């Protein structure tokens, strides 16, 4: 129920008088003679004249004051106000156009061809990339790992439509970043790096890339959130085993935008577009990896072709995984105590884990005294708390007994 019974409000006075209180339902003839009408009209006209005169007097006074205090600048002052009122939007749009023109030549389309017999061009994966360095005869491109992971023959198409063969320098599945190189002939623009740590919510950003194969497309939005933690499934098996720190934006990001540029109004790169939420009824949820994180990975890939992280050597599944729930019979077979409700089950071990004696159906519950509830916990502890060469203390259940072992972490061997 609103303020009015029919939820509508009209400024027109109703002609109905049936609901008026008796004390104001009176005869017009009895209380207001005809002469009053002329008096009201005359009074209203006088008020109008007074208001208009006051406004004119105010304008004249302000003009005279400005002319006396700032002789010669009066016209400029009024012209400046008019220009500001009408030119603000133009200035904002000019910034957007200039930023787009600055970055667009540095954004390329990436085509990842499948090198299998019978494959078609429609089987190729499309994405975007950003030229970040030109050195000698090589130009270097950053993009997403998932853009280049499906194919062997890589191709970069410049904004001018020139196709160049691309060479993979290195890629990292965890961060979803990859680096490519192409021949630098004809390439004159590399993107300028911005400081993603200085981004603020509400700041205007532009997404430039190759959505659905439409190269050079630019969309506009704002920074919706600065440091959003998004769970991801690295192995694409539906189990969240990592968290990606991303910039959330409502700039339109579609399939093919992955690996493209997210830039500020200065035309500086602040992120690499990586994903969007595409569920029914969801709009304006796109994500980009901030340049502060990207460049750390890119530097490692440029030097070593990979990112070195501590390696334990276990393939695991969560004890509470909804996709592979552990039933009562399996728990009894493993002799797992009822009190153990969280942890990770070892399915396969190699490297340091194998050397420590871990084997199938062991249930890991602690690293260095810290509880390990899931594969996500396991990865975060290894990658954020440990270094290659350090010792790791592991507690796990085997045949119902809690056991502790130690092992030295190594670098992950090349895939």
Give the separation between CA 167 and CA 155, rounded to whole angstroms.
8
Place of tokens 């599945």: 173
Q: Is 341 helix (H, G, I), strand (E, B) or coil?
A: coil
CA distances from 54 to 43, 68, 263, 298, 379 (A): 17, 21, 52, 69, 75
Q: Which listed residue (258, 318, 362, 381) is catalytic?
A: 258
Report the DSSP pairing between strands 217-232 and 204-209: antiparallel
- The dihedral built from the CA positions of residue 50, 53, 57 and 59, taken in this order, carries a sign that is positive
Catalytic annotation present for 258: yes
Reference 145, options 262, 253, 235; nearest CA is: 235
Q: Which listed residue (112, 128, 145, 146) is catalytic?
A: 146
Q: Which listed residue (172, 176, 241, 362) is catalytic?
A: 176
Catalytic annotation present for 109: no
CA distances from 78 to 66, 70, 73 (A): 10, 12, 9
Catalytic annotation present for 176: yes
Provide DSSP, 38-58. HHHHHHHHHHHHHHHHHHHHH
How many C-beta atoms lie closer than 10 Å to residue 172's C-beta?
18
Give the separation between CA 320 and CA 314, rounded to whole angstroms.
17
Active site residues: 146, 176, 258
């Amino acid at each position: 129920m609103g303020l009015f019974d029919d939820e509508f409000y009209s400024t027109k006075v109703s002609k109905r008088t049936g609901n008026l209180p008796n004390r104001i339902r009176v005869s017009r003839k009895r209380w207001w003679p005809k002469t009053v009408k002329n008096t009201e009209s005359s009074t209203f006209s006088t008020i109008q004249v007074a208001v208009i005169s006051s406004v004119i007097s105010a304008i004249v006074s302000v003009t005279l004051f400005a002319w006396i205090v700032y002789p010669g600048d009066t016209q400029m002052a009024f012209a400046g106000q008019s220009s500001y009122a009408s030119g603000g939007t133009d200035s904002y749009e000019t910034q957007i156009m200039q930023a787009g023109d600055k970055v667009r030549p540095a954004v390329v389309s990436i085509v990842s061809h499948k090198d299998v017999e019978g494959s078609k061009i429609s089987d190729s994966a499309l994405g975007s990339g950003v030229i970040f360095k030109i050195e000698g005869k090589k130009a270097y491109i950053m993009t997403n790992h998932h853009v280049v992971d499906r194919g062997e023959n890589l191709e970069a198409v410049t904004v001018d439509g020139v196709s160049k063969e691309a060479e993979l320098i290195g890629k990292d599945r965890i961060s979803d970043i990859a680096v490519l190189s192409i021949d630098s002939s004809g390439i004159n623009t590399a993107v300028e790096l911005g400081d993603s740590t200085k981004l603020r919510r509400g700041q205007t950003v532009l997404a430039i890339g190759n959505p659905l194969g439409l190269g050079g497309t630019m969309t506009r939005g704002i920074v919706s959130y600065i440091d959003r933690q998004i769970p991801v499934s690295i192995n694409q098996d539906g189990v969240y085993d990592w968290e990606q720190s991303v910039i959330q934006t409502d700039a339109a990001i579609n399939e093919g935008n992955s690996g493209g540029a997210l830039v500020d109004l200065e035309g500086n790169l602040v992120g690499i577009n990586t994903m969007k939420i595409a569920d029914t009824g969801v709009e304006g949820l796109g994500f980009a990896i901030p340049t502060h994180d990207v460049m750390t990975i890119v530097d490692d890939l440029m030097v070593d072709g990979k990112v070195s992280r501590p390696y334990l050597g276990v393939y695991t599944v969560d004890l509470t995984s909804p996709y592979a729930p552990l039933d009562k019979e399996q728990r009894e077979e493993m002799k797992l105590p009822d009190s153990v409700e969280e942890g990770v089950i070892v399915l396969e071990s190699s490297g340091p884990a194998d050397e420590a004696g871990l084997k199938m159906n062991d249930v890991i519950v602690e690293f260095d005294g810290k509880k390990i509830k899931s594969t996500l916990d396991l990865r975060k502890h290894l990658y954020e708390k440990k270094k290659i060469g350090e010792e790791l203390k592991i507690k796990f259940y085997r045949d119902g007994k809690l056991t502790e072992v130690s092992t030295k972490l190594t670098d992950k061997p090349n895939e």
